[in-house]
Amino acid sequence: MSSSLRFETRAIRAGQPPCPATGAIVTPIYATTNYQFESLDREGGGYEYSRVQNPTRKAAEECLASLEGANHAFLFASGMAAESAVFGLLSSGDHVVCIRDVYGGTISLLKMLQKHHGIETTYVDCAQISEVEAAFRPNTRLLWLESPTNPLTYVIDLRSLCALGKRHGAWVAVDNTFATPYLQNPLSWGADFVVHSATKYLGGHSDLTAGAVALNDATLADAIWDQQAIAGGILSPFEAWLTLRGMKTLAIRMRAHQENAIAVARFLAEHPKIERVLYPGLPDHPQHLLAKEQMRGFGGMVCAFVKGGREETKRFCEGTRLFLLASSLGGVESLIGYPLIMSHSGLTEEERHLREIADNMVRLSVGIEHVDDLIEDLDQALKGS
């Protein structure tokens, strides 16, 4: 499909022509394991076995590739499976430079890689380019980035960091889960891999678990294909179909998420029971100007610090009615999370302190309900905290 078409059009049409057999407008769920061989002489090009390739999954992968401006995209059974596929390209003795404010599951995976494969990681403040450069070693093979970060919503200079990774001969991977391809496309700045937990905004309805890797390089794509098809962490046809359905409305949902999130962030920033709010769309966010330049919007994630401490924060989290207390994000419904015991529970106290994971911090995934109802809900919960 032509890349000149706008995002919304590609989200609905890319990889999704009407079924040639029936004319069905919606891509079918091909719930089949096997495909018939026409003869023993067939030489590739067709489908053989659904672990290797499935028409529903292929349609969703082609759509995501179009949205990310990628030549290739691969869907996995979860975001962590997608991460594992990229890290699976590393060899024993390799070194990783990783952004410090990173999803807790990524840290747990990197710990496992060090324990079993001798792959070491150095965590750095990626807002400081000089600190990142100083962390590179001769055996550094991968620079792992997030922007905006989970859970603090920090924004980093992806263009400069991709260039830095290239100068050092390292691959650069960007977790684009919070921003989504609607708000930014890291491959255009030189990233080698873009990774998603498609469970979140790509799916968008809290009804599937999926992960994705998008990239341009054909040799690396072959290697990721091996990780997918041979290791077997594939996405099922049904969940591929749900991902495809979710991406159709990604643009309109992200606009609604952002509209609500900026209103919620402004409300919380002025509330007497809130100590601090981090949202890239607020002028006092430390990387607000960079976010305006680098992104096409600010997303739906808000980080807030409650005055008092853990008990006041606990009452706030448990007092909301529309913001459901849950550990995921990116769905149409609003969620409130407590990273200390959810997304970053696997970290030691020292590791959490280093990453500013405080006991009075909450992470809000702002949904697309009516914004007045959401603000009223937060207000009544804060009054009880």
pLDDT tens, residue by residue, 166-177? 999 999 999 999
Give pLDDT tens digits for 286-313. 999 999 999 999 999 999 999 999 999 9
CB atoms within 10 A of CB 189: 17
Q: What token pair was written down for 213?
A: 């890797």
Which distant-in-sequence residues (6+ apart) come within 8 Å of 333 by Cβ? 206, 324, 367, 369
- To 10 degrees, the CA torsion angle through 210, 211, 214, 219? -110
Whether 385 shows a pLDDT value over 80: the answer reads no
Confidence at residue 42, expressed as pLDDT on a 0 to 100 scale: 66
Structure tokens at 44: 């590739």
What integer pLDDT is reported at residue 384 of this predicted model? 82
Q: Contact 62/80 with Cβ under 8 angstroms?
A: no
Catalytic residue numbers read: 51, 103, 175, 200
Phi, psi of 362 (to 5 degrees): -125, 155
Residues whose CB is less than 8 angstroms from the CB of residue 112 and which lie 6 or more positions away in sequence, other chains included: none
pLDDT digits (tens, 9 = 90+) for 100-148: 999 999 999 999 999 999 999 999 999 999 999 999 999 999 999 999 9
Write down all domains in the chain, each with its CATH number in brackets: 7-248 (3.40.640.10), 250-383 (3.90.1150.10)
Q: Can you read off the two tokens belonging to residue 138?
A: 């001769």
Query: SS3 for 163?
Result: helix
Q: What is the per-residue pLDDT across 147-202, written as a single tens digit (0 to 9) for each?
A: 999 999 999 999 999 999 999 999 999 999 999 999 999 999 999 999 999 999 99
pTM (whole model) above 0.75: yes
Separation of alpha carbons 80 and 209, rounded Å: 10
Whole-number Å distance between alpha carbons of 16 and 371:
34
Residues 6+ apart with CB under 8 A from 223: 89
